[in-house]
């Protein structure tokens, strides 16, 4: 092996080790679940579910006049009441991780959780 090949191999090994160290030592970003609530494509509110100390609720009204009452408890969130005819968003119940959002199609409401490390990976299917 000539000197140039050894130098390239050494630089490649150094680059690989540096990349591995970066991936292992970097901050993981959000490590707590944050509920993002959008209404008709606009972000209405973001709630850090780890900072919720006691349950509370609030009502959102869409452009069509339909309302959704959101119930927030420590670590979880749900649609407690909705004016929509099918009630799928209400019947879904609480969510506490990013595996499945709550969607109310008639009112164009989406509640999605990011962070918390609970989202599915590609192997989970």
- Give per-residue pLDDT as tens, 11-26: 777 767 666 666 666 5
Provide the pairing of β-strand 109-114 with 102-104: antiparallel
In a domain, 63, yes or no: yes
The residues, any chain, with a CB within 8 Å of residue 68's CB and separated by 6 or more, are 59, 60, 62, 79, 81, 82, 83, 84, 89, 104, 107, 109
In a domain, 16, yes or no: no
In a domain, 113, yes or no: yes
Give the model's confidence band at 59: pLDDT under 50 very low, under 70 low, under 90 confident, else very high: very high
pLDDT at 58 over 90: yes
Say how many domains are in the chain.
Answer: 1
In a domain, 106, yes or no: yes
Average pLDDT over residues 3-12: 78
Q: What is the pLDDT of residue 51?
A: 94
If you count them, how many residues does the chain have? 125
Provide the pairing of β-strand 102-104 with 76-82: unpaired
Which domain CATH number covers 87?
A: 2.60.320.10
Task: Tell me how far apart the alpha carbons of residues 111 and 58 are, in angstroms, rounded to a whole number.
Answer: 14
The residue range of the domain holding 57 is: 34-120
pTM comes to 0.69
Average pLDDT over residues 50-70: 93
In a domain, 27, yes or no: no
């Amino acid at each position: 092996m000539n000197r140039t090949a050894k130098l390239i191999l050494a630089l490649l090994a150094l680059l690989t080790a540096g990349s591995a160290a970066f991936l292992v030592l970097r901050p993981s970003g959000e490590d707590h679940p944050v509920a993002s609530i959008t209404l008709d494509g606009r972000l209405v509110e973001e709630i850090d579910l780890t900072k919720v100390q006691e349950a509370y609720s609030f009502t959102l009204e869409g452009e069509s006049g339909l309302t959704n009452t959101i119930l927030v408890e420590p670590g979880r969130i749900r649609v407690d009441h909705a004016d929509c005819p099918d009630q799928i968003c209400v019947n879904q119940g609480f969510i506490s991780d990013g595996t499945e959002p709550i969607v109310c199609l008639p009112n164009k409401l989406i509640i999605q959780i990011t962070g918390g490390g609970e989202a599915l990976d590609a192997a989970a299917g």
